[in-house]
Structure 1
Amino acid sequence: MILTLLALLCVFAALLSAGVAVANLLVLKTPAPEPDDGLVSILIPARNEAGNIAGTVRAALASTGVPVEVIVGDDHSTDATAAIVTGIGDPRLRLAPVPDLPEGWTGKNHACAHLATQARGRWLLFIDADVTLEPSAAAALAARARHTGTALVSAVPRQRMDTSGERLTVPMINFLLVGYLPMPLMRRLPNPSLATACGQMVLFDAEAYAATGGHGAVRAFLHDGVRLAPLFRRAGYRTDLVAGAELATCRMYDTFPAAWAGFSKNAHEGLATPRALPLWTALLGLGHLLPLPLLGLGLLGLLPPEATALAGAASALSLGTRAAITLATREPAATIPLHPVSIAVALAIQWNVLLRRERAGAATWKGRSYPVGGA
């Protein structure tokens, strides 16, 4: 009886994310680019990005449909980042050395705030140094903002994953967004709790950015995407999230340790809180972690037939949801069978951060340490 009830809870939890994903995939579309005369400032904070920066800059300069300027903020790099940018030699490209990091700021927010002071554009398009834009991306995001009266438009680029460590961790970005954020409600209701953005690629109306304080208003935080969208909504502006797989490509990490460290850094301001994490553990564990083991026990004859059938239904819903999201976001199909393991790794990262938070007291990223006690 208990196992049957547990399997039934798994079905309900899997149905929740399946239903949200279906609703989201019906409305999550790539915006169409439209020619416009409004200048888009493409702003790239860079700290020791010699391996990525040339490709990122050249792709940004290849933007079509709108005039662009590209500004790279060299944040005290100790490699050849600045020399590579200077060597490209395009008149639309500028290198902006970032001043020393003031107390109370995190590095990326400080670099982005500095870049905004150098920009002349009607639109500010911030991208990470490992993001490769498609030629139409800037025009598409600006067109979406114009047509919808939106001050912040973000998208998740197509995530490139070449190693097993990446394939176990990176797909959780799109899975959590598409499987659990109700985007039709996000667009209809002004509630700040429904707002989020992907810091890898986010376009701002320059006037709204200045009015809200932009990155300066979230200076002490590590996860700018999570913090900025609610900030804009509290100030009365609209925000939006659109499909990004056709707009840009990103390779976030190249090893499992790097992915673990990166997602741990973001977890400090994400799911790893005493209130949120138990709920997320229940939702993800019941909906996506337990169904396959329960089904295996059932197939071995260790569960009642009704529990086995329920576990099979939950497994089908879970993997079907993951498959739909994976295909829609153009992620590797080989990651789909890894889904339960990915859920387990994601929860392990979050719990590790939460349990270590009091002892560590700081998050480390790009050679800098930041206090996280109140984040």
Structure 2
Amino acid sequence: MSLDAALLALAALCFAVALQPALFAAMNLALLRTPEPELGGSGLVSILIPARNEAGNIAGTVRAALASTGTPVEVLVGDDHSTDGTAEIVSGLAAEEPRLRLVPVPSLPEGWTGKNAACAHLAGQARGGYLLFIDADVTLAPEAAARLAAHAARTACDLVSAVPRQRMDSLGERLTVPMIDFLLVGYLPVAAMRASLRPSLGAACGQLILASRTAYVATGGHGGIRTSLHDGVRLPRLFRAQGRRTDLVAGRDLALCHMYAGFREAWAGFSKNAHEGMATPRALPVWTLLLLLGQVVPWLLVAAGLLGGLGPAAFALAAAALALSLATRTAITLAVREPWPSIPLHPATVLVALAIQWNVLLRRERAGAASWKGRTYPVSGA
């Protein structure tokens, strides 16, 4: 095969690979809507917040949760052996608010990860018919709890999740965080997820998960994924494996999250999740081809074409693939209300995401462990 023919074939492949997430995004953005609340509410919702050294966030998170409207709420904060004043801040707020309780988390049991142990303990203390687990850096909108509980009741789903709108203040955050929504919206077949109970189609965002108490107890909840570091992947799959329906909804109007402060924190955080996400020997080579061919190589081919290195047909296909890639990222970014200056960073964002995943996969055999919040856990399958 001549070089021109090879480049034409590569450009055609890039176009085909870029077309898939473009089509998925078009369908998914039409399906992922912000749910409406029920008139009169859905009964008591327990808002459960595991917190370990979250003094900088916890007051705002708690106040926003207490400001919930549309359904009655209680707010439980699990202090997971914080050393920075988290417990004192919550205690001060609880002295003036009977709906708020500080719940000390027991010592970490063997074989558990910290967040799962804290969430399971909080669930055992909760009184609500729905359990809304949120991270300590998530600020709920006033009707978020009511909307999620109403959607769960209307659709007979036992678990409903959403990706909050992501606050990104630094370049490092804009090079990492946007991949959450891009991967979910561009590669998860939402229609198939809703039509099937296949565990592999289960997806959630660990920052914001609502579960019915009945299903949570029946499935084992966080106790059923006690060794996991990625509840956004494992919890909905656990529910689905036991015949329970799960769903995703649009989260931009439900909550705001500031995950990380800069590139170093983002790298560490996404590395922790990668152990149970893309960074597996089978999955990562496939993801690498999909993301490189559909989202990065078209930029290189177009640059080569502008320098005269491509024939007209190959250049046209490469330009079309680039347009699809950019349009997909733009549509998702605008829909979830992420910062628009992150859009031209898209190919770099993809490369950073792959670098994180490959670093985790290649390091796994040597380290055999993952670290987070001052704790080290063995990696499953390492």
Q: TM-score range by the shorter chain?
A: over 0.9
RMSD over aligned Cα, in angstroms? 0.7
SS at match of 1:236: coil
Q: CA deviation at 1:171?
A: 0.2
Give the distance between the partners of 1:37 and 1:303, measured in 2 at CA. 60
| Mapping 1:92-111, distance limit 5 Å | 92-111=99-118
CA distance in 1, matches of 2:127, 2:341: 43
Q: Structure 1 residue 37: deviation in Å? A: 5.1
Gaps of 5+ in 1: none
Structure 1 residue aligned with 2:69: 64
2: CA distance between counterparts of 1:133 and 1:100?
Answer: 29
Q: Does 1:275 align with 2:254?
A: no
User: How far apart in 2 are the matches of 1:157 and 1:137?
Assistant: 10
Match of 1:38 in 2: 43
Aligned to 2:19: 15
Fraction of identical pairs, as percent: 70
Deviations, residues 202-237 of structure 1 (Å, cap 9, x unaligned): 000001000000000000110011001011011111
3-state DSSP of counterpart to 2:165: strand
Contact kept in structure 2, 1:218 and 1:224, CA below 8 Å: yes
The 8 Å contact of residues 54 and 86 in structure 2, kept in 1 or not, is answered as: yes
Give the aligned residue type for 1:297: A
**2:222 corresponding residue in structure 1:** 215
Task: Tell which deviates more after alignment, 80-89 or 57-66.
Answer: 80-89
SS of 2:252 mapped into structure 1 = strand
- The farther-off stretch of 57-66 and 32-41 is 32-41
Quote the offset at 1:373 in angstroms: 3.9
Residue 84 of structure 2 is matched in structure 1 by: 79
Maintained 8 Å contact 2:42/2:150:
no
In structure 2, do the counterparts of structure 1 residues 140 and 314 end up closer, same or farther at CA, with 3 Å as the change threshold?
Answer: same
Offset at residue 303 of structure 1 (A): 1.3
1:1-375 maps to which residues of 2 (within 5 A)? 1-34=5-38, 35-36=40-41, 38-88=43-93, 89-374=96-381
Number of aligned residue pairs: 375
**Matched AA of 1:155:** A
Distance 2:108 2:240 in 1: 28
**What secondary structure does 1:370 align onto?**
strand
Q: Call closer, same or farther: CA 1:37–1:180 in 2, change over 3 Å.
A: closer
Equivalent position SS for 2:211: strand
The residue type paired with residue 71 of structure 2 is: V
- TM-score with structure 1 length normalisation? 0.99
**For 1:103-150, what per-residue CA distance to the aligned partner results, in whole angstroms no more than 9, with x for missing partners?**
100000000000001000000000000000000000000000000000
Question: Which 4+ runs in 1 deviate beyond 4 A?
Answer: none
Deviation sequence 1:135-168 (CA, Å, 0-9, x none): 0000000000000000000000000000000000
Q: C-alpha deviations, 1:319-361, integer Å up to 9, x for none?
A: 0000000000010111110000000000000000000100011
Q: TM-score, normalised by structure 2?
A: 0.97
Checking the alignment, whether the CA contact within 8 Å between 1:158 and 1:245 is kept in structure 2 is yes
Q: Say if 1:357 and 1:373, in contact at 8 Å, map to a contact too.
A: no
| AA of the residue aligned to 1:6 | L
Unaligned runs of 5+ in 2: none
1:263-315 per-position Cα deviation (integer Å, ceiling 9, x unaligned): 00000000000000000001000000110111000011011111111110000
Q: Is the contact between residue 358 and residue 373 of structure 1 (CA under 8 Å) also seen in structure 2?
A: no
Maintained 8 Å contact 1:56/1:130: yes
